[in-house]
């Protein structure tokens, strides 16, 4: 039934600043903007990672009614090769550490930050991710 993450959306009061921040962090420009669709500025999308997952950033004015502005809700972890180095990079770009590097068990290490726009971003070294990637012929 659930076949994979289609889009992960984050929110930002200042969409241009968030676009610049994520472009710097990810090293790629968004591949789509709502301006390109003739709907004005309000949404950008990046394709990232081994499976080119979609990361969308939406102007907070389009958030569902009652949607909290402070960090909370689901915590999504993105696989990274070096949790400590990635955490350092995120903090150097202006994110605030939420959780320090934490070993969860053999082959599982996590950390998390709050980006400058109030979104929680989780990072994780996950041996199961690499196992699955290896069965599909991807780089490990």
For residue 128, is it within any domain? Answer: yes
Q: For residue 126, name the pLDDT band (cuts at 50, 70, 90).
A: very high
Asked if residue 130 belongs to a domain, the reply is yes
User: What is the total count of domains within the chain?
Assistant: 2
> Mean pLDDT across the stretch 39-54?
88
pLDDT at 139: 62
pLDDT tens per residue across span 16-29: 999 999 999 999 99
pLDDT at residue 72, as a whole number: 73
Residue 41 lies in a domain: yes
Residue 100 pLDDT greater than 60, yes or no: yes
CATH number reported for the structural domain that contains residue 48 in this entry: 3.30.720.120
Compute the average pLDDT of residues 54-69.
86
Asked whether the predicted pLDDT for residue 59 surpasses 80, the reply is yes
With b meaning 16 or more CB within 10 Å and e meaning fewer, what string describes 21-38?
Answer: bbeebeeeebeebbeeee
Q: What is the pLDDT of residue 62?
A: 86
The whole domain housing 53 covers: 1-63
- Indicate if the pLDDT at residue 132 is higher than 90: no
Calculate mean pLDDT across residues 68-97.
91
């Amino acid at each position: 039934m659930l076949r994979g993450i289609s889009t992960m959306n984050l929110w930002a009061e200042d969409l241009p600043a968030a676009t610049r921040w994520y472009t710097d962090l990810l090293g790629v420009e968004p591949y789509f903007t709502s301006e390109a669709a003739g709907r004005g500025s309000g949404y950008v999308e990046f394709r990232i990672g081994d499976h080119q997952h979609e990361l969308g950033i939406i102007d907070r004015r389009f958030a569902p009614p009652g949607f909290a502005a402070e960090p909370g809700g689901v915590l999504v972890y993105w696989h990274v090769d070096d949790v400590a180095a990635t955490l350092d990079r995120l903090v150097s770009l202006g994110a605030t550490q939420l959780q320090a590097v934490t070993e969860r068990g053999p082959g599982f290490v996590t950390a998390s930050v709050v980006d400058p726009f109030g979104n929680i971003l989780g990072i994780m070294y996950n041996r199961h991710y690499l196992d699955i990637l290896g069965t599909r012929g991807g780089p490990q």
